[in-house]
Chain A
């Protein structure tokens, strides 16, 4: 069974995911064998703070991990519709309103500390939605040595070794 999902566009192909990891590990062979879509609530927010020179507005994109509640800022991205198998999508555990509260707090913290401003910024939600980011599971192997598994961010190419 497949599902229609909004995903962050411009992802890495299977070959690109393999070569990203291979470039760091001479002598190892890598095989990407599965793509998993991870859910986030995305909020595009505008923070307005008062300064000595008038109001200063900053727009900020936040991704809230819908399974752990952890938040990060993100570069602008485009979205695309994708059909994905049910087993390739992780479900959400967080309600959208809770995610928005987390994003507000995270963004306000970032703005105040970077601006060094002891003020409450006004927040406006410009855009919001549930988006999915693709991740590749890549297996690494070397002759007679135990293999390991790497998670490759299908958008940025960043990677992390998996324990499993």
Chain B
């Protein structure tokens, strides 16, 4: 056990705790409306950074490094999709979804899907898929936390996993995580500083990019190839498309990511926050992959490639800095894990238990459902991570592929295609999820050279188009949904800047006042 590393890790948590405590004490005496209003109080910069810190999980520090260590520069296809994903997400569904969800009065993404595609089946399928896949995604965070804890403390993986899992589960159950915008901001800055520090040290160690690439070429020139080590993916554009799509289009299917579009104060905030998020992504996203590639030179005989970034930090950096890097890694893991557990628990209690099993459930009963689920995920997660832990990269890519395949076409068509109806959306969700899961389980990616997300997205897009058109007479889109969509898309002969600065939160009042004015004119 490296006591200096451990001391800095503890120091980090003391600072985070201190910021949280300060914010909480402030909250006890002042009103915190600004905090709840998100972007308005803290501005688009902090909004963007807080979003990034919760969306970047343990995958970035374990999965990304491992992919790069084993496949070389090919892994940067994933980074390319990740960097562009935010902008793609915001520009395709961001503004319109923000307006449409406001008009329909939806609070969560599952409610929004049910409002746009009215049917209890929509909610049942969307909520069930989300609960299962988010729970699966949390598993990756448990494994990442266990491995990180083992390395820092020197404990056996079994014990380190148990400790990491217990910490994450207990503070989620007790509601003790002091999550305020400024702790998220601090975490995001630590993550950025930590990963860039490791990258800088690695680059200095290998003599810069040019020298590193020359040495890599001497070891194996295919490490530098866009087709992966040993040219394993040569000509497989379907797999490449999948690698790019996973973290770009795939993100559009993440229910807890799209919820953020609904929370934006106004489209102008979304635009600026999107720009800041992209700048952060440009700095952050490729760094773990590059460290993974450089680790081939620095630590050529790693037993566990998932620990590439940890090991490079321990090898090259002073203990104090390694402590900061470790803190960054644990911050990424824990801020994602507790968000996912909370999201999973609330979907299971509200969207499944209250909606379908016990509509008269009290808040207390729903809380117990949430807690039981979190506990079950913890126990099952521990057993899976102990008996046969899957690779962090595999879990994250698999969960994102299935979520993207199931939901992205439904979310995109919800705002862009008026003919998309309820049977079409249900068919799309089921087809996307089933296709991508079967493709993965049957190992068809290797034989067909098409990644599960490529096939899943194509299948679910075809399903929503074909089924919506085939059932448009028997299941027409309700007129109130069509009216809301028209309002969402409306741009008249009005100054562009005025529209850009309009506050769509005023939509309900505008609709009511319009009907008053219309009524007066008709009299």
Q: Are A163 and B514 in contact (CB under 8 A)?
A: yes
Q: A51-B178, A114-B36 are in contact. Are A120 and B342 (CB under 8 A)?
A: no
- One of B238-246, B321-329, B366-374 contacting the partner: B366-374
* Cβ-defined contact, B338 with A116, below 8 A: yes
A157 CB, min distance to chain B CBs, angstroms: 9
Cβ contact within 8 Å between A115 and B175:
yes
Chain-A contact segment, one of B114-122, B472-480, B497-505? B497-505
Report chain B residues within 8 Å CB of A75: 33-34, 37
What's the least CB distance linking A31 to chain B, in Å?
15
B179 & A74 in contact (Cβ 8 Å cutoff): no
Contact across chains for A106 and B107 when beta carbons are under 8 A apart: yes
B494 contacts partner chain A, Cβ-Cβ < 8 Å: yes
Asked if B179 and A115 make an inter-chain contact with CB atoms under 8 angstroms apart, the answer reads yes
Nearest A residue to B23, CB-CB: A56
Residue A1 CB within 8 A of the other chain: no
Q: Which one, B102, B105, B364, contacts A120 given CB within 8 A?
A: B364
With contact pairs A90-B512, A90-B516, A112-B346 given, residues A159 and B502 touching in the complex (Cβ less than 8 Å): yes
Residues of A within 8 A of B513 (CB): 36, 38, 90, 135, 137, 151, 162
Bound CA span A140–B179, Å: 45
Please report the C-alpha to C-alpha distance between residue A38 and residue B510 in the assembled complex, in whole angstroms.
10
Partner of A50, one of B28, B174, B499, B514: B174
The answer to whether A74 touches B33, judged by C-beta atoms less than 8 angstroms apart, is yes
For the complex formed, measure the closest distance between the CB of B54 and the CB atoms of chain A, giving whole angstroms: 9
Mark interface residues in B478-496 (1 if CB within 8 Å of A CB, else 0). Answer: 0000000001001011110
Interface residues of A in 42-72 (CB under 8 A from B): 49-53, 56-61, 65, 67-70, 72
Residues of B within 8 A of A143 (CB): none
Across-interface contacts of B502 in A (CB, < 8 A): 159-161
Cβ of B35 under 8 Å from chain A: yes
Interface residues of B in 334-372 (CB under 8 A from A): 338-339, 341-342, 345-346, 363-364, 367, 370-371
**Cα distance A67–B507 when bound, in Å?**
13
The smallest C-beta distance from B433 to any residue of chain A, in angstroms, reads 25
Whether B33 contacts A61 by the Cβ 8 Å rule is: yes
Please tell me if the beta carbons of A53 and B107 are within 8 angstroms of each other in the complex: no
- Across the interface, name the chain B residue whose C-beta is closest to A156: B503
B208 at the interface (CB under 8 A from A): no
B36 touches A110 (CB 8 A): yes
Distance in Å from the Cβ of B74 to the closest Cβ of chain A? 36
A-chain residues with CB within 8 Å of residue B517 when the two chains form the complex? 137, 162, 164
Q: What string of 1s and 0s marks CB contacts (under 8 Å) between A100-129 and chain B?
A: 000000101111111111111000000000
Asked if B232 lies at the interface with its beta carbon under 8 angstroms from chain A, I say: no
Interface size on B, as a range, is 35 or more
State A6–B475 Cα separation when bound (angstroms).
46
Q: Is B300 an interface residue (CB 8 A)?
A: no
Whether a CB of chain B sits under 8 angstroms from the CB of A29 is no
The answer to whether A146 touches B487, judged by C-beta atoms less than 8 angstroms apart, is no
Query: Once the chains are docked, how many angstroms separate the CA of A150 from the CA of B510?
Result: 9
Q: Is B176 positioned at the interface, with any CB of A under 8 Å from its CB?
A: yes
User: With an 8 A cutoff between CB atoms, is A153 at the interface?
Assistant: yes
Whether B27 sits at the interface, judged by CB under 8 Å, is yes
Q: Which residues of A contact B28 (CB under 8 A)?
A: 56-57
B33 touches A160 (CB 8 A): no
> Which residues from B are CB-within-8-Å of A17?
none
Q: In the bound complex, do residue B512 and residue A38 qualify as a contact, i.e. CB atoms below 8 Å apart?
A: yes
Most chain-B Cβ atoms within 10 A of its Cβ — which of A59, A111, A145? A59
From known contacts A38-B512, A73-B36, A161-B494, infer whether A118 and B370 are also in contact, taking CB-CB under 8 Å. Answer: yes
Smallest CB gap from B373: residue in A: A118
Q: Does B157 contact A (CB under 8 A)?
A: no
A52 contacts B174, C-beta separation under 8 Å: yes
Bound-state Cα–Cα, A134 to B28, Å: 31
B31 sits at the interface (CB 8 A): yes
* B508 A68 Cβ-Cβ under 8 A: yes
**Bound Cα distance from A151 to B341, whole angstroms:** 41
B374 to chain A, nearest CB (A): 7
Q: Is A25 an interface residue (CB 8 A)?
A: yes
In angstroms, Cα B377 to Cα A17, docked, is: 54
B177 at the interface (CB under 8 A from A): yes
Q: How far is the CB of B331 from chain A (nearest CB, A)?
A: 14
27 sampled A-B residue pairs with Cβ under 8 A: A38-B513, A51-B24, A52-B171, A52-B175, A76-B31, A111-B36, A113-B342, A115-B175, A116-B338, A116-B339, A116-B342, A117-B175, A118-B342, A118-B371, A137-B517, A140-B494, A146-B493, A148-B494, A151-B509, A151-B510, A160-B503, A160-B506, A161-B502, A161-B510, A162-B514, A163-B510, A164-B518
A24-B498, A52-B171, A118-B341 are known contacts; what are 18 more A-B pairs with Cβ within 8 Å? A38-B509, A52-B174, A59-B31, A60-B31, A60-B32, A65-B508, A74-B33, A75-B37, A90-B513, A106-B107, A111-B36, A118-B371, A119-B174, A159-B503, A161-B502, A162-B513, A163-B514, A164-B518
**7 A-B pairs closest in CB distance:** A52-B176, A117-B175, A158-B503, A25-B495, A160-B506, A119-B175, A116-B179
Interface residues of A (CB under 8 A from B): 21, 24-26, 28, 36, 38, 49-53, 56-61, 65, 67-70, 72-76, 87, 90, 106, 108-120, 135, 137, 140, 145-146, 148, 150-151, 153, 158-164
Q: Which residues of B contact A (CB under 8 A)?
A: 21, 24, 27-28, 31-37, 102, 105, 107, 171-180, 266, 338-339, 341-342, 345-346, 363-364, 367, 370-371, 374, 487, 490, 492-495, 497-499, 501-514, 516-518, 520
